[in-house]
């Protein structure tokens, strides 16, 4: 009995140590799992005071002083108004292994307390869905993985970082945010990218399938099928958008802290678009006199589109705090059938171009936390085409057919928080739009400068 008690006494510390080690291993494994994903984010709120000399709308409106239906252009000509908006983004990075990394970003944006029902956004009533458990709008802005197949070869798959490329970071006073030049892509795109890098050089090819698939929910579940135009032409389910890119970047060339050159060739071939919804004057079916109704119009377009973007950037030139970026865009478009694309008849080929200049200077004023003063300037011709899918800019700066200027002051307030005060002017010489025929020169009341003066608070965390 004595021997058994002695053995138990000797074994107990060993069992306790073993249990402690197992608990510690479990804790380390859990911490490693939690540390796989890192989070960051930003919150932005912005107030714009906009002046538009000639607001064009396709809808009639009511003059409440008389109760009559009038042209909206007459009512709102030469008016200024305010716009308040907020945006929230949550970034995530998961380093799964030394060769495999996942990147994601979820974004929500809204007009503040908006009571008007918008065509593509909820109003204030719909915002309450966040508390009625009916869901809310969260946009998947980025979700892709990078797989380093070889030391010089990598594959990226998913919703790629196609927005907020240079010179966006120069305007914001931050490090580079997007992989591709700002004027190369106009929206978020899914796809596949294969990149070969050696030294500071990179060659990249991208494939974006432009899907046209109808999803039907029947009694037995969902079914997927191709789509046809009203004219009987079948729309390809996966028309390709191809991009080829050559890039060189260097962290230090002696005279500049960071240098970047990118040349990107972007092509869409025979993209078939059909059945535009347009607001037309009421034919009498609507119970409200003077209201409009949405009518489907069969207008199939087969589009060829090519864009060649060259981007050049110098950051912190000779240690002065000055940064400069220059973008040149050449576009070529053709509508093969239907009413044409940026043309009045099918088959017409239109060539356009634009130059975008961005410059910023970080002032050596430590008492003011080294603010940044900068400018943006865009000049483009009649057939320049850039459909901006990002609505953060309320006056369509990068889509201007004419000239546009942007003057800004970025003021750091405290760690992670910046204030930007800016003034933007857009002077369209030609009408906008791609599907409404050839851009025409603006004259009379329609020609004028759209302006916005805004203040923006940007919090990074």
List pLDDT tens digits, range 335-369: 776 556 777 777 788 899 999 999 999 999 999 99
- pLDDT for 294: 40
Tell me the C-alpha distance between 196 and 41, whole Å.
30
Signed CA dihedral, 200, 147, 262, 257: sign only = negative
Signed CA dihedral, 271, 272, 277, 281: sign only = positive
Residue 283's pLDDT band (cuts 50, 70, 90): very low
Tell me the C-alpha distance between 391 and 122, whole Å.
15
Largest CA distance in the chain: 111
pLDDT (average), residues 250-278: 80
Tell me the C-alpha distance between 430 and 382, whole Å.
6
- pLDDT for 435: 67
Lowest mean pLDDT among 1-5, 397-401, 411-415: 1-5
Q: Is pLDDT at 118 greater than 70 in this prediction?
A: no
Q: Is pLDDT at 117 greater than 60 in this prediction?
A: no
User: C-alpha distances in angstroms, 20 versus 14, 15, 17, 26, 405?
Assistant: 10, 9, 5, 10, 66
Q: Is pLDDT at 282 greater than 50 in this prediction?
A: no
User: C-alpha distances in angstroms, 442 versus 355, 401, 435?
Assistant: 21, 10, 17
Reference 162, options 192, 136, 144, 189; nearest CA is: 189
Mean pLDDT of the chain: 81
Beta carbons of 357 and 376 less than 8 angstroms apart:
yes
Domain residue ranges of the chain, discontinuous segments joined by +: 37-460
Residue 213's pLDDT band (cuts 50, 70, 90): confident
Reference 161, options 127, 188, 125, 128; nearest CA is: 188
pLDDT (average), residues 206-228: 78
Tell me the C-alpha distance between 7 and 14, whole Å.
11
- pLDDT for 289: 37
Signed CA dihedral, 404, 407, 412, 418: sign only = negative
Architecture field, domain 37-460: Beta Barrel (2.40)
Reference 302, options 266, 276, 341, 251; nearest CA is: 341
Residue 65's pLDDT band (cuts 50, 70, 90): low
> Which one is predicted more confidently, 371 or 74?
371
> Which one is predicted more confidently, 164 or 344?
164
- pLDDT for 264: 97
- Spell out a b/e string for 434-450, using b for 16 or more CB atoms within 10 Å of the CB, else e: bbebbbeebeeeeebbb
CA 373 vs. chain centroid, Å, equals 24
Using CB atoms within 10 A of its CB, is residue 181 exposed (0-12), middle (13-18) or buried (19+)? buried
Q: Is pLDDT at 136 greater than 70 in this prediction?
A: no
Tell me the C-alpha distance between 41 and 88, whole Å.
8
- pLDDT for 297: 41
| Highest-confidence segment of 296-305, 406-415, 447-456 | 406-415
Q: Is pLDDT at 383 greater than 50 in this prediction?
A: yes
- pLDDT for 131: 53
pLDDT (average), residues 426-438: 82
Q: Which residue has the tokens 């919150």?
A: 43
């Amino acid at each position: 009995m004595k021997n058994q008690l002695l053995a138990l006494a000797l074994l107990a510390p060993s069992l306790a140590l073993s249990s402690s080690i197992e608990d510690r291993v479990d804790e380390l494994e859990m911490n490693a799992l939690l540390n796989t994903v890192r989070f960051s984010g930003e919150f932005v709120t912005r107030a714009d005071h906009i002046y538009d000399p000639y607001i064009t709308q396709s809808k009639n409106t009511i003059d409440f002083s008389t109760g009559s239906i009038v042209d909206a252009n007459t009512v709102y000509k030469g008016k200024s108004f305010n716009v308040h908006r907020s945006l929230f983004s949550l970034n995530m990075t998961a380093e799964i292994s030394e060769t495999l990394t996942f990147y994601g970003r979820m974004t929500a944006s809204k007009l503040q307390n908006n009571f008007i029902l918008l065509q593509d956004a909820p109003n204030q009533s719909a915002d309450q869905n966040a508390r009625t458990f009916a869901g809310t709008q969260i946009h998947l802005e980025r979700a892709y993985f990078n797989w380093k197949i070889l030391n010089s070869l990598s594959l990226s798959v998913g919703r790629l970082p196609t927005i907020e490329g240079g010179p966006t970071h120069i305007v914001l006073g931050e490090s580079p945010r997007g992989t591709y030049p700002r004027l190369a892509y106009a929206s978020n795109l899914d796809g596949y990218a294969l990149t070969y890098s050696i030294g500071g050089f990179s060659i990249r090819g991208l494939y974006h399938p432009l899907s046209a698939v109808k999803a039907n929910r029947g009694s037995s579940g969902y079914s997927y099928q191709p789509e046809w135009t009203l004219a009987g032409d079948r729309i390809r389910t996966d028309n390709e958008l191809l991009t080829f890119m050559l890039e060189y970047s260097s962290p230090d060339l002696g005279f500049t802290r960071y240098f970047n050159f990118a040349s990107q060739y972007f092509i869409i071939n025979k993209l078939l678009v059909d059945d535009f919804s347009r607001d037309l004057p009421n034919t009498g079916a609507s119970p409200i006199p003077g209201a409009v109704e949405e009518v489907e119009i069969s207008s199939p377009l087969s589009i060829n589109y090519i864009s060649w973007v060259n981007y050049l950037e110098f950051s912190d030139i000779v240690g002065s705090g000055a940064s400069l970026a220059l973008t040149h865009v050449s576009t070529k478009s053709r509508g093969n059938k239907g009413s044409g694309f940026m043309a009045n008849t099918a088959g017409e080929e239109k060539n356009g171009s634009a130059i975008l200049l961005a410059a910023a200077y970080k002032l050596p004023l430590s008492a003011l936390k080294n603010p940044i003063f900068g400018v943006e300037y865009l000049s483009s011709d009649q057939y320049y085409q850039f459909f901006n899918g990002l609505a953060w800019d309320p006056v369509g700066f990068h889509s201007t057919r004419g000239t546009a200027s942007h003057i800004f002051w970025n003021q750091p307030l405290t760690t992670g928080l910046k204030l930007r005060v800016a003034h933007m002017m857009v002077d369209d010489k030609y009408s906008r739009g791609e599907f409404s025929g050839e851009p025409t020169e603006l004259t009379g009341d329609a020609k004028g400068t759209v302006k916005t003066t805004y203040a923006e608070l940007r919090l990074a965390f």
